[in-house]
Amino acid sequence: MRLMPGARNLFEAKMVSRSFAERMRNAEHLLGTVLSFPSPEIAEALALCGYDWLMIDACHAPIDTLTAQRMLQAARCPVLVRVADAGNEAIHRALDIGATGVIVPGIRTAADVEGAIAACRYPPLGNRAIGMVRAQGYGQNFKTYIDDANEEIVVVPQIGHIDAVREIEAIAAVSGFNALFVDPYGISTSIGLPGLIGHSEVTAAIGRVQHICEEAERRMGIFAHDLDTAARWLGANFTLVALASDAMMLSQRARDMLQVLR
Catalytic annotation, residues = 60
What is the C-alpha separation between 235 and 252, in angstroms, rounded?
A: 25
Q: Are 20 and 78 in contact (CB under 8 A)?
A: yes
Residues 231/208, Cβ–Cβ less than 8 Å: no
**Cα 198 from Cα 120, distance rounded (Å):** 34
**How far apart are alpha carbons 238 and 210 in whole angstroms?**
9
Helical pair 65-75 and 88-96, crossing angle rounded to 10 deg: 40
Q: Write the DSSP assignment of 73-92 as a string of letters.
A: HHH-S-EEEE-SSSSHHHHH
User: Identity (one letter) of the amino acid at 68?
Assistant: A
